[in-house]
Amino acid sequence: MAKGMIVKALSGFYYVRNEEGLFQCRGRGNFRKRQIKPLVGDEVEFEAENRTDGYILDVFPRKNELIRPPIANIDQAILVFSAIEPDFSPLLLDRFLVHIEVNRIEPLIVISKMDLADAALKQKMEQVKKRYEQIGYPVLLSSTVEMNKMEALFPYIAKKVSVVAGQSGVGKSSLLNSLQPGLNIETNHISTHLGRGKHTTRHVELLSIGEGLVADTPGFSSLDFTGMDMQDLAPCFPEMEERAADCKFRGCTHTAEPGCAVKEAVEAGEIEESRYKHYQQFLEEIKNQKRRYDS
């Protein structure tokens, strides 16, 4: 039996690549009974009489997976946020980061459309870059019209499976087109009425870019915290997690407990207050979600 990686899923077919090339496959009928759905990024065992008539026989264990977009075995998430059109949202970025952290995926933050920013906005984005780099996240300020800024991505992509994610209209497809001329991934302009872009990417596909594989994915349609418990949240904020051991109470939620090292760090300005407020908001969402499921 042959082994390979699913690099595209489209219209019920799975496209598996290995050293011999690309094979179009279907999933075995018993996958549904076993509640297995092959995903882009899966390492699989398959058989194929020719390049267009194969069957996936087994899916090997995954190290991680995302539901939206549906992809597995990701090393890195390139989170693309635009400086403008749509405006940069720290709340949405932190929401994305939680989803990436809980799946133990390394994040890379890319702020796009810097060429459209005026001097004041550029200064603001430099401050955002500094804040998140202090937490430990790499941040790149990019522009598809300045190739040297785009090329800074290549070392991060090399030897990794990366997923490009972010809200619609931030320039994910434009970024990939700039990195790999000839891809011709469809892009759309922002709707001035809605202030957001259309979903131009309709399937998940791993593309060979530089020395790595990068997934172009549909925009995230939902970023709720389904499946997360309250104790899962704080470790997704690295600056809070590194202080949690100094809290007076084990299992501290960093909200109402006395002797909380995290709250002390917020008051001292060592933890960004906006990040802490986002943590509180997400924690409340998880609590409300649990109440709904338990009622």
CA distance 43 to 62: 8
* Model pLDDT, residue 193: 36
Query: Quick one: pLDDT at residue 295?
Result: 59
Task: Supply the pTM of this predicted model.
Answer: 0.85
Q: Which residues contact 275 (CB under 8 A, 6 or more apart)?
A: 94, 135, 237, 239
60-81 pLDDT, tens digit per residue, is 999 998 877 788 999 999 999 9
pLDDT score of 194 = 35
> What pLDDT score does 158 carry?
94
The pLDDT tens digits of the residues spanning 200-240 come to 446 788 999 989 999 876 655 557 787 889 999 999 999 99
What pLDDT digit, counting tens, does each position of 149-203 carry? 678 899 999 999 999 888 777 877 778 888 887 666 665 544 333 344 444 446 7
* In the chain, % of residues over pLDDT 70: 89
Q: Are 98 and 66 in contact (CB under 8 A)?
A: no
User: What pLDDT is stored for residue 186 in this prediction?
Assistant: 61
Question: Is residue 27 predicted with pLDDT exceeding 80?
Answer: yes
Which residue matches tokens 């690295």? 238
> Lowest-confidence range among 30-44, 108-122, 232-246?
30-44
Question: Over the stretch 119-156, which tens digit does the pLDDT of each residue have?
Answer: 999 999 999 999 999 999 999 998 877 766 678 899 99
Q: Is the pLDDT of residue 35 over 60?
A: yes
DSSP assignment string, 217-284: -PPPS----TT--HHHHGGGSHHHHTTGGGSSSTT--SSS-TT-HHHHHHHTTSS-HHHHHHHHHHHH
Rounded mean pLDDT of the chain?
87
Supply the pLDDT for residue 205. Answer: 87
Rounded to whole angstroms, how far apart are CA atoms 168 and 197? 5
pLDDT at residue 145, rounded to an integer: 72
Tens-place pLDDT, residues 248-265: 999 999 999 999 999 999
Instruction: For residues 225 and 231, give the distance between their C-alpha atoms in angstroms, rounded to a whole number.
Output: 12
Residue whose pair of structure tokens reads 């785009």 in the numeric block: 150
